[in-house]
């Protein structure tokens, strides 16, 4: 028995812990062989992108961030960029990947990735490849699992930053706007904002009214709190009325990601008599080793992925439900994005303790 494993999409704390969990379970419990596929699905297209894995080779990787197998954002075999007559065209090389999978003598493939990677994995599964998915994203935007690994660490990192920004904001009586990651959902911003003691949290799920934000900051000054921390999720969007004022392009979503923090800062500075500074936390949020929660979740996911192979239950993705590890079909896994409920209990808690959610 020989299984492969690859990591795809943006990297995330805990990837190495999953790899370790898979390799240790496969080798120690079942005495299987393990093959690492490098650079995501690209490793199934390019030559020489595989590496034997065994307990010795994965020593010491549990607390290390990133992925020893590397990742790739470009490696979709169904839509793979190739140079042809000096131009780059997209080609379907999924057949070549299927063939390589067989040539490598693999009996199963564990795919660790986010929604994009799972969609590709599902296509291969439908073509007959015995695939198991492991969900990964710092953004926590997958509907079919309570939590993804990497999210907890990202929140911890963002909280660390907010803690530090608090002392400098307070000393200088400044407003500090902090732009956090999360793509189209506000999980990192909401959780970090609450744990980092933010005064305003702006998330994509609640279109924000910049006037409410400014009023809130003014109210704090009146009560003697001359500083404020404003957390802005990179996907946060202002209410229709504010769009023009902020100078945002209404037409597209993707391009808007990144930059909203700076815009919110300028807007506040224009309306409130206060010093404003902006910090874009950036890639630090996806870097570094996993915290203990993510190490355990990743290890459990890795173990469960191997168990699913053992049971022959392919086309499924492992997931967390409460305190248990379960699994769902890849079809279900990629059906829907998990967004924050604007009327849910966490948002209610935030507003109850006086955090302005921009509405």
**Residue selected from 104, 170, 243, 246 as contacting a second copy according to rule CB under 8 A:** 170
For a second copy, the closer of residues 251 and 323 by Cβ is 323
Interaction of residue 244 with a second copy, rule CB under 8 A: no
What residues does 9 pair with on adjacent strands?
A: none
| Cα 122 from Cα 353, distance rounded (Å) | 43
Residue 74 burial (CB count, 10 A): 11
Region near a second copy per CB under 8 A, out of 85-93, 104-112, 115-123, 153-161: 153-161
**Number of residues in contact with a second copy, rule: CB under 8 A?**
84
Interaction of residue 296 with a second copy, rule CB under 8 A: yes
**Residue selected from 116, 219, 289, 342 as contacting a second copy according to rule CB under 8 A:** 289
Beta strands in the chain (DSSP E): 2-7, 33-37, 50-53, 80-84, 87-91, 108-113, 131-135, 175-180, 200-202, 228-233, 276-280, 316-321, 324-329
For a second copy, the closer of residues 50 and 152 by Cβ is 152
**HSE-up of residue 67 (Cα within 13 Å, Cβ side):** 27
Q: In terms of DSSP bridges, do strands 50-53 and 33-37 run parallel, antiparallel, or are they unpaired?
A: antiparallel
Taking the complex as a whole, how short is the minimal distance between the CB of residue 162 and a second copy, in angstroms? Answer: 9
| Cα 318 from Cα 330, distance rounded (Å) | 9
Contacts of 175 (CB under 8 A, 6+ apart): 169, 217, 227, 228, 229, 230, 265, 268, 272, 274, 275, 276, 277
For a second copy, the closer of residues 109 and 194 by Cβ is 194
- Residues annotated as catalytic are 139
Region near a second copy per CB under 8 A, out of 127-135, 200-208, 241-249, 343-351: 343-351
Contacts of 304 (CB under 8 A, 6+ apart): 318, 325, 327
Interaction of residue 156 with a second copy, rule CB under 8 A: yes
> Where in 37-96 is the site for a second copy (CB under 8 A)?
55-56, 62-67, 70-73
Interaction of residue 163 with a second copy, rule CB under 8 A: yes
Residue 201 burial (CB count, 10 A): 30
| Cβ atoms 210, 246 nearer than 8 A | yes
For a second copy, the closer of residues 95 and 259 by Cβ is 259
> Where in 214-243 is the site for a second copy (CB under 8 A)?
224
Taking the complex as a whole, how short is the minimal distance between the CB of residue 155 and a second copy, in angstroms? Answer: 5
CA 289 to each of CA 155, 223, 284: distance values in angstroms, whole numbers, following the listed order = 13, 40, 11
**Residue selected from 191, 216, 237, 256 as contacting a second copy according to rule CB under 8 A:** 191
**Residue selected from 51, 96, 277, 359 as contacting a second copy according to rule CB under 8 A:** 277
DSSP 8-state class, residue 29: I
Interaction of residue 278 with a second copy, rule CB under 8 A: yes
Interaction of residue 15 with a second copy, rule CB under 8 A: yes
Taking the complex as a whole, how short is the minimal distance between the CB of residue 104 and a second copy, in angstroms? Answer: 22
């Amino acid at each position: 028995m020989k299984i492969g494993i690859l990591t795809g999409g943006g990297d995330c704390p805990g990837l190495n812990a999953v790899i370790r969990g898979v390799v240790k379970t496969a080798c120690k419990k079942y005495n299987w062989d393990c093959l690492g596929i490098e650079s995501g699905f690209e490793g199934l297209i390019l030559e020489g992108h595989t590496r034997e894995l065994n307990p010795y080779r994965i020593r010491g990787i549990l607390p290390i961030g990133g992925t020893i197998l590397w990742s790739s954002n470009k490696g979709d075999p169904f839509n793979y960029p190739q140079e042809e007559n000096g131009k780059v065209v997209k080609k379907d090389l999924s057949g070549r990947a299927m063939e390589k999978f067989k040539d490598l003598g693999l009996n199963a493939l564990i795919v660790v990735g986010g929604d994009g990677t799972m969609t590709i994995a599902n296509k291969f599964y439908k073509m007959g490849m015995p695939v198991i998915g492991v969900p990964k994203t710092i953004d926590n935007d997958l509907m079919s699992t309570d939590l993804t690994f990497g999210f907890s660490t990202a929140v911890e990192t963002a909280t660390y930053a907010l803690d530090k920004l608090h002392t400098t904001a307070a000393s200088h009586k400044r407003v500090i706007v902090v732009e956090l990651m999360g793509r189209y959902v506000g999980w990192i911003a909401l959780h970090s904002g609450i744990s980092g003691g933010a005064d305003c949290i702006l998330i994509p799920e609640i279109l924000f009214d910049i006037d409410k934000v400014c009023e809130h900051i003014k109210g704090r000054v009146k009560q003697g709190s001359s500083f404020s921390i404003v957390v802005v999720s990179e996907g946060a969007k202002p209410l229709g009325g504010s769009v023009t004022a902020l100078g945002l392009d209404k037409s597209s979503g993707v391009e808007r990601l990144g930059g909203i923090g700076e815009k919110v800062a300028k807007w506040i500075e224009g309306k409130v008599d206060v010093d404003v500074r902006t910090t874009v936390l950036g890639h630090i949020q996806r870097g570094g080793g996993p915290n203990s929660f993510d190490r355990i979740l990743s290890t459990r996911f890795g173990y469960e992925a191997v168990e699913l192979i053992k049971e022959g239950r392919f086309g499924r993705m492992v997931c967390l439900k409460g305190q248990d590890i379960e699994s769902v079909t890849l079809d279900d896994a990629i059906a829907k994005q998990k967004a924050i409920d604007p009327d849910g209990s966490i948002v209610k808690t935030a507003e109850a303790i006086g955090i302005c959610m921009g509405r």
